[in-house]
Amino acid sequence: MDYLVKLKEIKANFDNIEKELSDPDLARNQEKIIELSKKRSSLIDIVEAYKKYDKILKNIEGNKEIVKSSDEDDLVELAEIELEELETKKDELEEEIKFLLIPKDPNDTKNVIVEVRAGTGGDEAGIFANDLFRMYARYAEIMGWKLEVMDLNESTMGGIKEVVFSLSGNEIYGDMKFESGVHRVQRVPLTEGSGRVHTSAASVVVMPEAEDVEVDIDMSDVKVDVYRSGGAGGQNVNKVETAIRMTHIPTGIVVQCQDERSQLKNRQKALKVLKTRLYDLKLQEHNDEISAQRKSVVKRGDRSDKIRTYNYPQNRVTDHRIGLTLYDLASIMEGNLDELIEKMKIADRTEKLKS
């Protein structure tokens, strides 16, 4: 098996990490502890799989030896039955290990910034954008993540034009990255009196949160505007100029934050979003280069694609990237996204394995 050598290397690396973590002198270096703990966490699944695999290989060899050398018919028969079971388990574990050996996206462990915007469909699109925001808020609550609103622009009928929020916790981008794209809803809008089903849309952009070391911004390239926060319909909700708008002149990227009453806090949040947008731009350029070399089944890089349809009359959700349809829309809108996201992960890993 070609990857047996690789598994042994990973196991040796894992053992070295555990040895370092057990060193009492390391207690004074918290940064190193965090770094080693993350590495250990990223390797533990494959190390456990390797331990099982190694045990199965040894058992197979032991049973083969019994079949070859034993004179006891009953013992040989039992060994042959067990050998067949072990071979099946071995094949299953090999498939699992192949997936585990696929290099992980280094961004998967990062926190994210999410932008949800109303698309075509007027007031109904704004209501749907708000429904999506609520869905992600419920999912974050289920997962134990922290959600913080960076900017919120409300519309009429209880909808939103756009919302920008951050999610912090464990392994967030690895789950949320598959949500980027155009989401479409089919239902009878509250604004429709005749009972006809309409189609509306909203876009979702999920970006891994940039760290300071990854994005260096020259503030002379950034135009900063200060203005008063506004509510739905343009009414002023803040008499003081605390809202911040930042324009990155070289790229034309504009971000704004008006959620906090403090101008300083809004400035800090806006700068975090700007850094993340710039990091995401760099990441997209890298992904475009990869996509030019191979066409991926999971088109998470192309945000112009319609990725999912939410059909209310049929209680149906369809993910068009992998042809998955679930008749569980009500539960999904309550934040139960696990099955959808897990299926996307499997499709993504399968595509990478083929490549």
Structural domain boundaries in the chain: 4-100, 112-354
Which pLDDT score, from 0 to 100, does residue 290 have? 42
Nearest by Cα to 50 from 103, 97, 87, 104: 97
Beta-sheet strand order (sheet of 222-227): 222-227, 243-248, 253-257
Q: How confident is the model over 250-261, as a mean pLDDT?
A: 86
Q: Is the pLDDT of residue 306 over 70?
A: yes
Across 4-8, 219-223, 332-336, least confident range: 4-8
pTM, two decimals, is 0.67
Decide if 325 contacts 317 (C-beta within 8 A): yes
The per-residue pLDDT for 303 is 42
Q: How many C-beta atoms surround the C-beta of residue 143 within 10 A?
A: 17
Predicted local distance difference test score (pLDDT) of residue 199: 92
Confidence of residue 244 (pLDDT cuts 50, 70, 90): very high
Instruction: Tell which wins on pLDDT, 30 or 185.
Output: 185
Q: pLDDT grade, residue 189 (50/70/90)?
A: confident
Would you state the pLDDT for residue 235?
45
Bridge partners, residue 246, by sequence: 224, 255
Q: Count Cα atoms within 13 angstroms, Cβ side, for 234.
A: 0
Give me the helices (H) in 26-121, please: 30-69, 73-100
Q: Fold for 112-354, please state it.
A: Alpha-Beta Plaits (3.30.70)
Whether 302 shows a pLDDT value over 60: the answer reads no
Confidence tier at 210 by pLDDT (50, 70, 90): confident
CATH 1.20.58 given to domain 4-100: yes
Q: How confident is the model at residue 295 (pLDDT cuts 50, 70, 90)?
A: very low
With helix as H, strand as E and coil as C, how does 253-286 read? EEEEECCCCCHHHHHHHHHHHHHHHHHHHHHHHH
Q: What is the pLDDT of residue 1?
A: 53
The vertex-110 CA angle with 271 and 208, nearest 5°, equals 50
Higher pLDDT, 271 or 296: 271
Q: Does position 171 have pLDDT exceeding 70, yes or no?
A: yes
Work out the average pLDDT over 84-96. Answer: 91
DSSP state of 114: E
Mean pLDDT rounded to a whole number for the chain: 85
234 pLDDT band (50/70/90 cuts)?
Answer: very low
Task: For 266-289, write each residue's pLDDT tens digit.
Answer: 888 898 889 888 888 887 775 665
Q: What is the mean pLDDT of residues 323-349?
A: 94
Q: Is residue 231 very low, low, confident or very high in pLDDT (cuts 50, 70, 90)?
A: low
Least confident of 3-12, 194-203, 223-232, 327-336: 223-232
For residues 174-181, give the mean pLDDT. Answer: 93
Per-residue confidence (pLDDT) for residue 166, from 0 to 100 = 92
Which pLDDT does position 37 carry in this prediction?
87
Under 8 Å CB-to-CB from 48, ≥6 apart: which residues? none
Q: Is the pLDDT of residue 66 over 70?
A: yes
Taking every pair of C-alpha atoms in the chain, what is the biggest distance, in angstroms?
Answer: 94
Q: In this structure, which long-range contacts are made by residues 58-61, counting pairs with CB atoms below 8 Å and at least 24 apart in sequence?
A: 59/86, 60/86, 60/87, 60/90
Question: Does 157 have pLDDT greater than 80?
Answer: yes
Alpha-carbon span 230 to 239, nearest angstrom = 10
